[in-house]
Chain A
Amino acid sequence: MQQIINFLIRNKTFLLFLLLFSISLLLTFQSHSYHKSKFINSANFLTGGIYKSVNNIGRYFNLKKENDILLEENNRLKSIFFNTKTNLLKQDNNDSVFSAKYKFKPALVYKNSYSATNNYLTINKGERDSIKQDFGVITSKGIIGIIDNTSKKYARVMSILNTNSRINSQLKKSNHFGTLTWNAESPLLVQLIDIPKLAPVAVGDTIITGGRSTIFPKGIPIGKVVSFKLDETENYYNINVKLFNDMTSVGHVYIIENLDAEEISNLNNPNE
């Protein structure tokens, strides 16, 4: 017993180092698997608060650009609205309008990163605004990511520029679907894998989200095909997709809530 205590005292520095090092390794491993990095994330009152106060100053410098983006989006929505043959306003009594499937909420990005291999964003909406895990996040141009952690006032979004991110997506012109991943090389390009060899892929094709997940509705634009090649098994395409979004500068985003998500997941896991 004496010897053990002596040993502990003699090597206390090394043991402390070992302990702290293993704690940090544990945290690191947790952060590499989706939904497990609970403790260390920027959606808490301290980091969220600091990012908020800095953002309050910084956002004035982007007002002009944000205005342009909003104007562009308004313009697009107006042209859709007034050019549809059936005027939506007259259908107000129709039930299909009221049985909305998706709920949208605007939010502001406080912190964005794109140079690491696992990137996250912090936004200014949290549990207080009934934001939960697994809601989708988009901008007017394309998708951003999925909510992965929430606190009272803030939420953390797992960006599509994250090597753990897997998003169901498909070609716009045919229904061949695959998985959107990122190889950590460029913040402008993401990779679409598992598209079958039979699919008619061409450079310039548009990639959209597939309706197979409960997170994103079908048809949200993602990007354009810039190059593609067959993978090692020669059965599937690996496609490089250039994002419509500039992930290096994101200001305002929309959070999508799928109101049917719970029902669908209950159907798929009847045992729970």
Chain B
Amino acid sequence: MNNIISTNIARFIVLVLVQVLVLNNINFLGYINPYIYILFIILFPIKNNRLLFILLSFLLGLTIDLFLDSGGVNAAACVTIAYIRPVILKFVFGTIYEHQTVKFNNTELGQRLTYFSIITVIHHLILFSLEVFNTTKILLILKKTLFSSIFTIILCVLITILFSRKNK
């Protein structure tokens, strides 16, 4: 149990620092940045206190906002995906989730990819809609969402593969 808490605290700090110091300076093709800090929300233990989880997600988003001067857009997006995560989990993993036995390292790549993609796209859509905040620029929002999502999903999957411990 202690192990889980310390892993998550470390993950929180490392992801925030990597996000604001490295990934936000990528600006691929001028505007495409991956937002991998949502890995914290994606990989958060499934057996959890939902109130605590939502509060932590809010803090995560707010920390990112603090660094990026973006008001509260990241916080809003994070809180939303944290709130709807159980629904997505149920949709993607079905019965395994019902028995509360999902371990992300053991799941199939296809299922994991679907789960990551749904969360990422929802997060990015809220993030960019609030950031641009202009209905006449829907195309810009969709463009940013699409390309950044692709970038984020690829990076997230690669990172989880790289850092997964082999369970024997």
Q: Which residues of A contact B (CB under 8 A)?
A: 12-14, 16-17, 20-21, 23-32, 37, 40-42, 44, 46-47, 50-51, 54, 111, 113-120, 122, 156, 163, 184-187, 248
Contact = CB atoms under 8 A, between A and B. Distances in A.
Interface residues of B, number: 38
SS class, residues of chain B in contact with chain A:
helix
Among A20, A44, A50, max chain B CB count under 10 A is at A20
A113 B69 contact: yes
A40 B61 CA distance: 11
B33 A115 contact: yes
Interface string B57-90: 0100110011111111101100110110000000
Contacts of A29: 71
Contact of A26 (B27, B62, B70, B72): B72
B72 A40 contact: yes
B27 A24 contact: no
Contact of A20 (B17, B54, B132, B137): B54
A13 B75 contact: no
Given A17-B54, A115-B31, A41 B66 contact: yes
Contact of B70 (A23, A46, A118, A187): A118
A115 B72 contact: no
A42 B65 CA distance: 8
A165 to B, nearest CB: 13
B27 A118 contact: no
B33 A40 contact: no
Contact of A40 (B21, B71, B79, B133): B71
B130 A28 contact: yes
Contacts of A32: 71, 133
A41 B69 contact: yes
B8 interface: no
A42 B27 contact: no
Nearest to A162: B69
B66 A27 contact: no
Q: Which has the most chain A C-beta neighbours within 10 Å: B32, B69, B80, B83? A: B69
Contacts of A117: 131-134
Query: Which 8 A/B pairs are nearest by Cβ-Cβ distance?
Result: A31-B71, A27-B72, A24-B72, A24-B76, A24-B75, A120-B69, A28-B71, A17-B83
A117 B56 CA distance: 27
Interface string B5-44: 0000000000001001100100100111100000000000
